[in-house]
Structure 1
């Protein structure tokens, strides 16, 4: 067991997961010609970024039949592990509209609502400090929180729409298909390998076993979202993280409620309650409440969620339970009272910002969206960056294919010159000061926001979140006991996601099974889906065994920040989000 000064370390990094990244997730060389599937461009991930890339590329190819023909019978393939595109996608989400209007110029915002992925333009907004469980203090919206004119959306529904349009334009959408290995040949990415289906708990072939296959592509796009294991493997294989800061993560838990009366404004709270302001606890969090009007049904709904930086040190920090606690505030009670919860989900998001973005291209492949860390976590905005990066990636790929060039590096400069690079650069040093705690870091954060990163200036570094020692604190003492009408437990929440992971599937989660109690408690409380358990007869101190209920997993990815590793499940497993 790892130790520091004779004592067992309580930093998760001291107990790395049993995984060999390059050996497991990079395959050197393609199978024989008779055993491969050949496509033009392979896009790994059917979310907003990957599908924006697919749609823009198909728009360009539609006007260039010669290049389209050279890409073969399947010019664009989208490989998505969920049952449907959008099935694993979740965000707040209030979206800046410009990139979507650019991608689909013939659509109006009213068309978005008719299609069912947009729920109303933001016309009013409010930002509150919540010093206590009863108090609220309204403040002028800080610049990153100004959302007037933005659109409330469901990214799950948006992805379903994007997939339909892409398929009509000629894309081949492979849902229920995991991409498990990056295929590299002669120093270049030449495609991916799809995962096997029909294996048992021990990896044995069951009666319905179907082997995976190599999918060969002229260009591969990694659009895997916040934690992609192929993206992670690519970063190591091609040294894409050299000179960058480590990526950091946040975790958001979201509910969708059908409410009795419409909410007339968008609301954010920036604490400090219900998290602790103590630097020892290391908790930074905030909430959103967004109005949603379903044009098809006439239902009034709200999206409500809580986000916590995974930098915290108290092992009993649970974002799911902090959201339930937050719902007890009178501000929230007034909005949700008499309503019905109709959706729930959880997702990690990259929080490192500009300095943590890896190099985005390598021979034969490039990275888009959340996989590249393109999230402004000050403004809680990333969907517009995902769409814009997909557009720019498609244009770089098209130019490369048309001109017979192998390099995709024009995409790097295009990102820097775009709103993606410019906005993330302005926020480049905004979150790091919070590593000093809410009280010490807050003033520096505000100074960075006001000066758009010029003061204090320089490059502020991050440390990896799994290097932070954990302790068992008192955050959990404040969590309400679920009544499963207004406040909910984790398992009933997982149930309404439509999670369909089969009981005899192989385990896709890698953690050490015997760790100090502090780390086991970290995983138990952190996981919004109740994946990790500690046996009732385990000792109160020292090493304990960890039970992994991997069939509960909703693919949020948070375990990666705190000492574990999420790998792809069998295709089709996991949640089936509808409104998130």
Structure 2
């Protein structure tokens, strides 16, 4: 393979990760009956979408004891790799309340706040252009950014609330358990296999070794979030992406601050500073600043974050460092003045939208939420789609169980006819034009928003982001030096996530270890957790070695968009988010 295209640029796709997903991640035989766990329905992922599926299904089963009994001792099992549900979940997040109110009608919005996962209704909002590091120009909120009446929430805390309701309804929630293989026999998904525990750095069994187990089910729900470990192999195994555009990704880094003075409005900024306008750099990004009032403690909090499309070309683009740079803007510094950073996290999100969504069902299984790409990145909204897809999935599974059907195809039609399909279809062509750069693509994006998707007509294509040639630019020159007060380095940020990955755990990240400098720098700067390093004595040009500090990983998933592959860690490893 060539290391460069001759002008100092190289695409990460030329150096694919050492992985064979259709053989490694799909198990085509089942263990003997006495060695496996049999459940009614298994849900992979204890986030908002997976637990919404469990909650809705259990609501229906609770009114139908005959069908519940037919599912056996464990009617619903939720497999979650974090220490608790929500431990790996992160979003902004301002949520449209409708699906939450539909799923949990007995809880008022005041109850949400008392439960500790909602932090206030949006009553005021502002949108700013930030042309420079000193200026901010307030503009009328574009239609996608209007959030009046929405609710500021923590998805990690919401997931813990949903976990409690699922367990009260009869679910068996297996936390600290990774689903490492999809069970497929005779062309049908039969469940999942849980990962081994207690292996050493080289894969050797340690004294506390526990082998994984086949968990078989009548139906399987893949609710793994962004770039699910089993979702990718499932999409390929059953040709679910046939006719769809490639999925694309964005990366968000978030901080939570306790501030002495409450913020009275929700704020978004849409640049161009601190990203670069030039199409050469390919940088598209934006920010949020959300007010949060913790009803339990009385604390005034601020959620602040930066999101960047992973289609950029400058290898020195770092979302974490762009957030640190952004916080020094006078608009932001006034909000944080006298405050204390109390939380940090990072997460990738699917950005392809309507045209990139795969087929949602396969024999024996279906996809919900971010696993299916149900995110509107124009409005920065996806949580309500996660909840709505869970409701529809729970209903489709219940109807199939009750009637004895083996197909979940009605779920596809239900999603298309729902607010998910309608809202995503309306913004189906609103992000692709930015592949031409901010200045050339912006007018087309504005046209698509103003016409509610009618213009431009047809389907605008995406390209895979790992095929974007990378170069070593100068974005890094604007990053501030961490001062420990307003700006922070990556390692101190990882520390406050509660990450407790074993130092002798097996490596769960797959990348080539000897790659062109352009690719290595891409990984080094992109990773918000400082996982990838280049030795100090590495050559300035040509191929270099890559050191992978995988125990730092916070499971953001961004590496998969730029030439690597994130697999599941041992159950219980990774961050333990509280209010992200």
Question: 1:3, CA displacement in angstroms?
Answer: 5.3
User: What residue number does 1:146 align with?
Assistant: 146
Structure 1 residues 298 and 8, CA gap change in structure 2 (3 angstroms): closer
User: What residue number does 2:457 align with?
Assistant: 457
Question: Does structure 1 retain, via aligned residues, the 8 Å contact 2:328–2:486?
Answer: no
Question: Does structure 1 retain, via aligned residues, the 8 Å contact 2:9–2:518?
Answer: no
The answer on 1:80 being equivalent to 2:80 is yes
User: What residue number does 2:228 align with?
Assistant: 228
Question: 1:159, CA displacement in angstroms?
Answer: 0.1
Q: Distance in 1 between the 2:8 and 2:141 partners?
A: 45
Residues 192-248 of structure 1 deviation map (CA, whole Å, 9 limit, x = unaligned): 000000001110000000000000000000000011010001000000010000000
User: What residue number does 2:43 align with?
Assistant: 43
Q: Distance in 2 between the 1:9 and 1:38 partners?
A: 51
1:201 is paired with a residue whose SS is coil
The answer on 1:166 being equivalent to 2:171 is no
Residues 406-452 of structure 1 deviation map (CA, whole Å, 9 limit, x = unaligned): 01000000000000000000010000000000000000000000111
Question: 1:6, CA displacement in angstroms?
Answer: 7.2
User: What residue number does 1:446 align with?
Assistant: 446
Question: Does structure 2 retain, via aligned residues, the 8 Å contact 1:2–1:8?
Answer: no
Which stretches in structure 2 are left out of the alignment for 5+ residues?
A: none
User: What residue number does 1:343 align with?
Assistant: 343
Q: Aligned ranges for residues 16-165 of structure 1 at < 5 Å?
A: 16-165=16-165
Question: Does structure 1 retain, via aligned residues, the 8 Å contact 2:353–2:375?
Answer: yes
Q: Distance in 2 between the 1:71 and 1:420 partners?
A: 30
1:234 is paired with a residue whose SS is helix
Aligned residues: 580
1:208 is paired with a residue whose SS is strand
1:281 is paired with a residue whose SS is coil
Question: Does structure 1 retain, via aligned residues, the 8 Å contact 2:9–2:471?
Answer: no
User: What residue number does 1:323 align with?
Assistant: 323
User: What residue number does 2:544 align with?
Assistant: 544
Q: Distance in 1 between the 2:329 and 2:256 partners?
A: 17
Residues 471-507 of structure 1 deviation map (CA, whole Å, 9 limit, x = unaligned): 0001000000001111000000000000010000000
2:346 is paired with a residue whose SS is strand
User: What residue number does 1:384 align with?
Assistant: 384
Residues 166-187 of structure 1 deviation map (CA, whole Å, 9 limit, x = unaligned): 1011000000000000000110
Residues 101-133 of structure 1 deviation map (CA, whole Å, 9 limit, x = unaligned): 000011100000000000000000000000000
Q: Distance in 1 between the 2:200 and 2:389 partners?
A: 38
Question: Does structure 1 retain, via aligned residues, the 8 Å contact 2:13–2:466?
Answer: yes
User: What residue number does 2:242 align with?
Assistant: 242
2:491 is paired with a residue whose SS is helix
User: What residue number does 2:284 align with?
Assistant: 284
CA RMSD, 1 decimal: 0.9
Question: 1:374, CA displacement in angstroms?
Answer: 0.1
Q: Distance in 2 between the 1:37 and 1:218 partners?
A: 12
User: What residue number does 2:373 align with?
Assistant: 373
Question: 1:2, CA displacement in angstroms?
Answer: 3.2
Question: Does structure 2 retain, via aligned residues, the 8 Å contact 1:2–1:9?
Answer: no
Question: Does structure 1 retain, via aligned residues, the 8 Å contact 2:364–2:407?
Answer: yes
Q: Distance in 1 between the 2:338 and 2:204 partners?
A: 50
Question: Does structure 2 retain, via aligned residues, the 8 Å contact 1:8–1:516?
Answer: no
Structure 1 residues 45 and 5, CA gap change in structure 2 (3 angstroms): closer
The answer on 1:176 being equivalent to 2:176 is yes
Q: Distance in 1 between the 2:159 and 2:30 partners?
A: 31
Q: Aligned ranges for residues 342-491 of structure 1 at < 5 Å?
A: 342-491=342-491
Question: 1:5, CA displacement in angstroms?
Answer: 6.3
Q: Distance in 2 between the 1:5 and 1:249 partners?
A: 24
Q: Distance in 2 between the 1:471 and 1:536 partners?
A: 20
Question: Does structure 1 retain, via aligned residues, the 8 Å contact 2:3–2:516?
Answer: no
Q: Distance in 2 between the 1:5 and 1:58 partners?
A: 55
Question: 1:4, CA displacement in angstroms?
Answer: 6.4
Q: Distance in 1 between the 2:380 and 2:283 partners?
A: 17
Question: Does structure 1 retain, via aligned residues, the 8 Å contact 2:195–2:211?
Answer: yes
The answer on 1:293 being equivalent to 2:286 is no
Question: Does structure 1 retain, via aligned residues, the 8 Å contact 2:258–2:302?
Answer: yes
The answer on 1:206 being equivalent to 2:213 is no
1:229 is paired with a residue whose SS is coil
Question: 1:567, CA displacement in angstroms?
Answer: 0.2
Question: 1:30, CA displacement in angstroms?
Answer: 1.0
Q: Distance in 1 between the 2:550 and 2:30 partners?
A: 31
Q: Distance in 2 between the 1:382 and 1:52 partners?
A: 14
1:69 is paired with a residue whose SS is helix
Question: Does structure 1 retain, via aligned residues, the 8 Å contact 2:41–2:76?
Answer: yes
Structure 1 residues 107 and 6, CA gap change in structure 2 (3 angstroms): closer
Question: Does structure 2 retain, via aligned residues, the 8 Å contact 1:130–1:137?
Answer: yes
1:441 is paired with a residue whose SS is helix
Question: 1:348, CA displacement in angstroms?
Answer: 0.1
* Of 28-37 and 563-572, the range deviating more from structure 2: 28-37
User: What residue number does 1:554 align with?
Assistant: 554
Q: Distance in 1 between the 2:5 and 2:178 partners?
A: 43
Q: Distance in 2 between the 1:391 and 1:78 partners?
A: 16
Question: Does structure 1 retain, via aligned residues, the 8 Å contact 2:30–2:183?
Answer: yes
Question: 1:29, CA displacement in angstroms?
Answer: 2.0
User: What residue number does 1:12 align with?
Assistant: 12
The answer on 1:528 being equivalent to 2:494 is no
Q: Distance in 1 between the 2:5 and 2:118 partners?
A: 55
Question: Does structure 1 retain, via aligned residues, the 8 Å contact 2:517–2:544?
Answer: yes
User: What residue number does 2:187 align with?
Assistant: 187
Q: Distance in 1 between the 2:452 and 2:390 partners?
A: 26
Question: Does structure 2 retain, via aligned residues, the 8 Å contact 1:257–1:336?
Answer: yes
Question: 1:323, CA displacement in angstroms?
Answer: 0.1
Question: Does structure 1 retain, via aligned residues, the 8 Å contact 2:344–2:496?
Answer: yes
Q: Distance in 2 between the 1:57 and 1:72 partners?
A: 15
